[in-house]
């Protein structure tokens, strides 16, 4: 594969008509495999994903997929794109199998036998074979998410964009969904947005943290957390005592667990705290001027 394999973004900006600067100069290199886009509500994740899916144009900047200029030649990307938006409108009373078949037809799968075979393979892949005859309107939230991924996978996309796909899924469904994504990532660029750190920690080879339209951190989960090694300290602050300025405050039996960033122990009672990706996320947001409350 060439050096430009994957998705390259340079200087992407987008200001909405209401003045919100949703993307504020995004530079990012997304290699093939599973890549996480982590950020709080309103960070700009969906804006970035809609822009990459060529559903809206940036004000400025460049996008390349495998070295091809996407804004100059959007069809090159569209032919290779699978996109699962954050919200999907009403689902019809049509069966899962029939709906998938229609979408495959729309995507240019006009040869009936091949299309049928692809649809059946996709239904098996997302474990909806047994429910394929049921109306999509009767699917549970988890089934709908898996059905969405089947739709996005029609035509074996080179680029798969999934926007907060695991919101509202139970742990078993989330795991099942993650396994499908990991599978696809073996042969494609898979960009996954979420505000759930756990979704990314074990799943993504690399991630970017997005806040207020900017990339505030980028790397492997291990790189991001190891940057904090030896600099985090924790103490359970008893109820009623003043809380320190902290990276994270978590309610625990007996009070509040305060995790503090400091080059040396910030005071009596503090123990060294092993850094997690979640800590790195909160530190990156704080450095970007976003408090936990805003996040």
Ligand X SMILES: Nc1ncnc2c1ncn2[C@@H]1O[C@H](COP(=O)(O)OP(=O)(O)OP(=O)(O)O)[C@@H](O)[C@H]1O
Residues within the interface to ligand X (CB under 6 A): 16, 18, 20, 22, 39, 41-47, 86, 195
The candidate with the shortest Cα–Cα distance to 156, out of 213, 104, 208, is: 104
- Residue 12 contacts which entry, ligand X, Mg ion, none (Cβ below 5-8 A, type-dependent): none
Q: Which is nearer to Mg ion, 46 or 248 (CB)?
A: 46
Q: Which is nearer to ligand X, 48 or 260 (CB)?
A: 48
135-161 per-residue burial string, b: 16 or more CB within 10 A, e: under 16: ebeebeebbbbbbbbbbbbbbebbbbb
Cα 127 to Cα 106: distance, rounded to the nearest angstrom:
23
In the numeric block, which tokens belong to residue 4?
């430009």
- Residue 41 contacts which entry, ligand X, Mg ion, none (Cβ below 5-8 A, type-dependent): ligand X
Rounded least distance, CB 11 to ligand X, Å = 18
Q: Does 47 bind Mg ion (CB under 5 A)?
A: no
Rounded least distance, CB 167 to Mg ion, Å = 9
For residue 182, how far is the Cα from the chain centroid? 13
Q: Which is nearer to ligand X, 16 or 108 (CB)?
A: 16
H or E segment at 199?
helix 197-201
Q: Which residues pair with 235 in a beta bridge?
A: 258
- Residue 2 contacts which entry, ligand X, Mg ion, none (Cβ below 5-8 A, type-dependent): none
The candidate with the shortest Cα–Cα distance to 36, out of 169, 213, 146, 165, is: 165
Q: Which is nearer to ligand X, 194 or 256 (CB)?
A: 194
Taking CA atoms, 15 is separated from 42, 82, 289, in Å, by 13, 25, 20
Q: Which residues pair with 28 in a beta bridge?
A: 9
Rounded least distance, CB 148 to Mg ion, Å = 15
User: Which parts of 73-132 interact with Mg ion (CB under 5 A)?
Assistant: 86
Cα 84 to Cα 283: distance, rounded to the nearest angstrom:
30
* Cβ-proximal residue to Mg ion, closest one: 46
Greatest Cα pair distance, the chain, in angstroms, is 72
- Residue 146 contacts which entry, Mg ion, ligand X, none (Cβ below 5-8 A, type-dependent): none
- Residue 44 contacts which entry, Mg ion, ligand X, none (Cβ below 5-8 A, type-dependent): ligand X
- Residue 22 contacts which entry, Mg ion, ligand X, none (Cβ below 5-8 A, type-dependent): ligand X
Q: Which is nearer to ligand X, 8 or 194 (CB)?
A: 194
Rounded least distance, CB 288 to Mg ion, Å = 18
Q: Which residues pair with 9 in a beta bridge?
A: 28, 63
- Beta-sheet strand order (sheet of 33-38): 81-84, 159-163, 189-194, 33-38, 206-211, 214-219
- Of residues 30, 35, 44, 46, which one binds Mg ion by CB under 5 A? 46
96 and 147 in contact (C-beta within 8 Å)?
yes
Q: Which is nearer to Mg ion, 189 or 210 (CB)?
A: 210
Q: Which is nearer to Mg ion, 45 or 178 (CB)?
A: 45
Rounded least distance, CB 195 to Mg ion, Å = 9
- Residue 80 contacts which entry, Mg ion, ligand X, none (Cβ below 5-8 A, type-dependent): none
Q: Which residues make up the interface to Mg ion (CB under 5 A)?
A: 45-46, 86
């Amino acid at each position: 594969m060439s050096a430009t394999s994957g998705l390259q973004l340079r200087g992407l900006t987008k200001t909405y008509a209401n003045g919100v600067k949703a993307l504020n100069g995004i530079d990012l290199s997304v290699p093939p495999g599973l890549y996480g886009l982590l950020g709080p509500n309103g960070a700009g994740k969906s804006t970035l994903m809609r822009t990459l899916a060529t559903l809206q144009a940036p004000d400025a900047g460049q996008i390349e997929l495998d070295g091809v200029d996407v804004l100059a030649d959007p069809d090159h990307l569209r032919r290779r794109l699978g996109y699962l938006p954050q919200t999907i409108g009403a689902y019809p009373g049509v069966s899962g199998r029939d709906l998938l078949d229609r979408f495959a037809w729309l995507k240019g799968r006009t040869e009936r036998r091949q299309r049928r075979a692809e649809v059946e393979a996709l239904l098996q892949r997302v474990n909806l074979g047994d429910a394929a005859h049921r109306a999509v309107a009767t699917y549970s939230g988890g089934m709908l998410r898996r059905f969405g991924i089947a739709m996005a996978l029609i035509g074996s996309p080179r680029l798969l964009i999934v926007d907060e796909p695991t919101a509202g899924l139970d742990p078993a469904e989330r795991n099942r969904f993650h396994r499908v994504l990991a599978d696809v990532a073996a042969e494609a660029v898979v960009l996954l947005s979420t505000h759930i750190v756990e979704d990314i920690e074990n799943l993504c080879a690399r991630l970017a943290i997005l806040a207020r339209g900017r990339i505030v951190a980028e790397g492997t989960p291990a790189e991001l957390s190891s940057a904090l090694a030896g600099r985090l300290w924790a103490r359970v602050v008893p109820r009623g005592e003043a809380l320190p300025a902290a990276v994270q405050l978590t309610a625990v039996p007996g009070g509040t667990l305060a995790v503090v960033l400091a080059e040396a122990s910030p005071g009596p009672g503090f123990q060294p705290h092993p850094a997690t990706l979640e800590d790195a996320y909160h530190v990156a947001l704080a450095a970007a001027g976003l408090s936990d409350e805003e996040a």
